């Protein structure tokens, strides 16, 4: 029984590592800040959650395992907020989007608002 538990834990850790690696590869390959932020935030959050779930399965219901569960809840609550703050700051600091970008309705609305402020 305990061998099956160990196998499940190791498999969860390996899946999490695979997604970590793919997320970091996206951080290197994709063209601009926003696309990098998307790939890295999704894949690295999911991968680290998989690793922590594997640690919880390997350790069982003691204080060690509960710390791993607390870590999962914590990274699921914090990493989207950090991604949101960084992307908003980058757009307000005028960091350019990549050349493949099709449409930017946020920029249009900002220019509209600034124009109204100047005219009034």
Residues 17-56 binding other proteins (CB under 8 A) are: 17, 19-48, 51-52, 55
* Contact between 70 and 58 (Cβ < 8 Å): no
Is residue 25 helix, strand or coil? helix
* Contact between 32 and 98 (Cβ < 8 Å): yes
Radius of gyration of the chain (CA): 20
Measured from the CB atom, the residue of 8 and 75 that comes closer to other proteins is 75
Tally of CA atoms within 13 A in the half-sphere of 97 that contains its CB? 14
| Residue 119: CB minimum distance to other proteins, A | 18
Maximum Cα interatomic distance, the chain, rounded to a whole number of Å: 74
| Residue 1: CB minimum distance to other proteins, A | 19
Q: What is the DSSP letter of 95?
A: P
Measured from the CB atom, the residue of 107 and 111 that comes closer to other proteins is 107
| Residue 120: CB minimum distance to other proteins, A | 16
Measured from the CB atom, the residue of 1 and 36 that comes closer to other proteins is 36
Decide: is 64 part of the binding site for other proteins (CB under 8 A).
Answer: yes
* Contact between 36 and 27 (Cβ < 8 Å): yes
Measured from the CB atom, the residue of 77 and 118 that comes closer to other proteins is 77
Rule CB under 8 A: which of 78-117 touch other proteins? 78-93, 95, 97-98, 100-107, 109
């Amino acid at each position: 029984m305990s061998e099956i538990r160990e196998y499940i834990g190791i498999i969860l850790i390996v899946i999490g590592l695979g997604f970590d690696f793919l997320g970091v590869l996206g951080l290197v390959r994709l063209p601009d800040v926003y696309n990098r932020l998307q790939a890295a935030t999704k894949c690295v959050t999911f991968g680290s959650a998989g690793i922590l779930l594997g640690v919880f399965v390997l350790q069982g219901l003691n204080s060690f395992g509960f710390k791993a569960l607390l870590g999962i809840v914590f990274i699921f609550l914090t990493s989207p907020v950090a991604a949101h703050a960084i992307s908003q700051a980058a757009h307000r600091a005028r960091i350019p989007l990549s050349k493949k970008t099709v449409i930017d309705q946020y920029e249009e609305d900002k220019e509209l608002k600034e124009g109204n402020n100047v005219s009034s």
